[in-house]
Amino acid sequence: MAPRPGQYRPLPGTHPRSSSMSVSLRSVDGQDEAGILREIQSALRDLRFGAVEITVHNAQVVQIERKEKFRLQQPSHKPG
């Protein structure tokens, strides 16, 4: 059964773990919902540690920001 417009839809290939991860997107005048989803998927691609922030103003997605963290391994000190 296809979701209704504005109803929660997980991104293809994802498995939500809780309802707090839900995203509600709806078609808004002048916005390409499929294009927005492609940009979000692109921001998530290969992201291991970090965050993707979606900024909305007046019911319009205006910015998608990707913040990536690189974890550095500490050198191991061997007793000597």
pLDDT of residue 67: 95
Q: What integer best gives the mean pLDDT of the chain?
A: 74
* Model confidence pLDDT, tens digit, residues 13-46: 544 433 333 445 555 567 889 999 999 999 999 9
| Dihedral sign for Cα atoms in the order 31, 21, 41, 62 | positive
In the chain, where are the structural domains located? 30-68
Contacts of 54 (CB under 8 A, 6+ apart): 40, 61, 63, 64, 65
Q: Give the whole-angstrom CA distance, residue 58 versus residue 62.
A: 9
Predicted local confidence at residue 78, as pLDDT? 72
Confidence of residue 74 (pLDDT cuts 50, 70, 90): confident
Q: Which two tokens stand for residue 55?
A: 């900024």
Distance CA(10)–CA(22), nearest Å, equals 7
Name the token pair of 37.
């989803």
pLDDT attached to residue 65: 96
Q: What percent of the chain has pLDDT over 90?
A: 41
